[in-house]
Amino acid sequence: MSTRTMGPGYGWSWLARAVNLGRNNPKAVIGAIALVALVALIPSVVQLAAPSLFGAGPDALLTVMGLTTLASMIVFPLLIGGVLRVIDAAEHGRPVGAMSVFGAFQAGGGALRLIGFGLLMTVLYLLVFGAIVGAFGEGLPAWYMELMQLSMESGGKPVQPDDIPAPPSGLGMVMALGLLAGLFLGGAYAIGFGQVALGGRGVLAAVGDGLAGSLKNLLPIVVMAVLSIVALFALILVVALVGGLLALVGGLVHPVLAMLLVAPVYLGMIMLMYVVMFGVMYHMWRDICAEPVAPPPLPDNQVEL
């Protein structure tokens, strides 16, 4: 299946259409994304509760982190595929509900292909970033493990700046190359997931389509990334100002009221980020891989030249 090359302006188009996601069926689309956001909280809750449930030893914490990561690698590809299918159904006017996000868990939902694609892309991520660290990040793994050890030994308390060891000299190069590789592989991830969930492609074919489509469209992906960073900075600033004002007003009455006023603001920011993320994934796949959308019919008094 061939992939299309889009102009740099599509980086803005993907973001704009993602913000407007769910206009045709907001109950299903936003509801499905909210369910995914709730499921995404479970690993963090388990890891936070791990010290009290399993002890605060480093081995127990690493075991819990490993198990939750493994579960996420199996569950989240199914949820991503489910969200893309809900969005596609809503965009095409087909009846769909929020609970359809769990359709990939059922027989015939393509679960093995979704999980296989997610695992293969994870391996690809590790290989690429491992190659970057191996080539330019001498001493970086040891420095990172030292930071992890300090974090676990602190018992959840902030690590003092004086206790943090100096980073290796290659950290800047690793971060720059890692950012570029992350943009490229992130595009391949979005396009490939659409191919598996919506295009009926196999795992290897979807990976190939994702890599080819991302390479052809690296410029609009970079444009989208730059615009996303600017928009995220503005969003965080607005949320911090509004949240701080609400916390100040609520705190005059009671701290609990302050929390109740602030929580919806931050939850709304998180939901917006999820909506935009899945919206960009869908529209990127649709423009690069799906069948071109037919143009609207011309009025009766106009003739196509």
Q: Where are the domains of the chain?
A: 10-288
Residue for token digits 């300090």? 150
Summarize the confidence of residues 246-252 as an average pLDDT. 89
Residue 62: per-residue pLDDT: 74
pLDDT at 224 over 90: yes
Percent with pLDDT over 90 in the chain:
59
Summarize the confidence of residues 202-210 as an average pLDDT. 94
Cβ–Cβ under 8 Å, residues 220 and 10: yes
pLDDT at 152 over 80: no
User: Which is nearest to 238 in space by CA: 263, 266, 279?
Assistant: 266
Cα angle: 200, vertex 78, 271; to 5 degrees: 115
Which tens digits make up the pLDDT trace of 257-282?
Answer: 889 899 999 999 999 999 999 999 99
Which tens digits make up the pLDDT trace of 55-93?
Answer: 556 666 777 778 888 888 999 999 999 999 999 999 999
CB-based contacts of 135, cutoff 8 Å, min separation 6:
none
pLDDT at 98 over 80: yes
pTM here is 0.85
pLDDT at 296 over 70: no
CB-based contacts of 93, cutoff 8 Å, min separation 6:
24
Neighbours of 187 (CB within 10 A): 27
